[in-house]
Structure 1
C-alpha cells in the first residue's frame, strides 16, 4: 500500500502541475478547477483549496486505478494505458466542452492533454504491473 500511495501522490501532483501548465498556455479550453463554479461547490474558498481538493481527488482516483489495474498485468501496460487514456480524455473533454456528437468535434479536443494523461496512466500501470509481478515472484 505504501508504493501505491507514493505512486498515486506523485501522479496526482504531476497531473495537477501539467493541467495548470496546459491551462496557462491555453492548450486546454477549460479550467481544471472550473467545475467548482459549475457544481456550486466551495464558491468562497481560495484557489489553493481548489487545487488541493483537485489533487486529493486525483490521488484517490490514481490509488484506486493502481489497486484495480495491478491485477490486469496480463494485458500490456502500453495498450491498456493508451486505450484507457483515450477513453478518459475524450469523455472528459466531451462533457466539459459540451461538444455535439459530430465528427468535426474531434478537432476541438486537446492532444497535449491526451498525451499527459496517457503518459501518467502508463506510469501508474507500469509501476502496478512491476510490483504485482515482483509480489507473485516472491511467493
Structure 2
C-alpha cells in the first residue's frame, strides 16, 4: 500500500509538470486546467490551487490504476500501458477539442501528450507488476 501511494504521488506530480510544460511550449492546443472555467468551478481561486487540485485528481486516478492493474501482471506492462494510454489520450483529446468523427481529426491530436501519458502509465504498471510479483513470491516462501 505504501509503495502504491508513493508511486501514485510521483505519477501525479510528474504528469502535472509535463502537462504544464506541454501547454507552455504549445505542444497541446488545450489548457489542462481549462475545465475549471468551463464547468464554473473554483473561479475565484488561484492558478496554484487549480494545479494542486488537478494533481490531487491525477493522484487518485494513479492510485486507482496502481491498485487495479497490479493484478494484470500476466499481461506485459508494455502492451497494457500502450493500449490504455492510447485509448485514454485519444478519447480525452477528442472530447476536449470537440473533434468530428473524421479521419482528418487524427492530425489534430498531440503526439507528445500521447507519449507522455504512455510513458507514465508504463512507469506505474511496471512498478505495480514488480511489487505484485514480489509480494506473491514472498507468500510462497
TM superposition score normalised by structure 1? 1.00
Q: Does 1:107 align with 2:101?
A: no
**In structure 2, what is the Cα distance between the partners aligned to 1:13 and 1:96?**
22
CA RMSD of aligned residues (A): 0.3
Structure 2 residues not aligned, in runs of 5+: none
Deviation at 1:107, TM superposition (A): 0.1
Structure 1 residues not aligned, in runs of 5+: none
SS of 1:85's equivalent?
Answer: helix
Partner of 1:120: 120
TM superposition score normalised by structure 2? 0.98
Q: Which runs of 4+ in 1 moved over 3 A?
A: none
Q: Does 1:71 align with 2:71?
A: yes
SS of 1:91's equivalent?
Answer: helix
Measured against aligned partners, the alpha-carbon deviations of 1:12-61 in whole angstroms (never above 9, x if no partner) come to: 00000000000000000000000001111001100000000000000000
**In structure 1, what is the Cα distance between the partners aligned to 2:75 and 2:101?**
31
Deviation at 1:120, TM superposition (A): 0.2
Deviation at 1:121, TM superposition (A): 0.1
Number of equivalences? 139
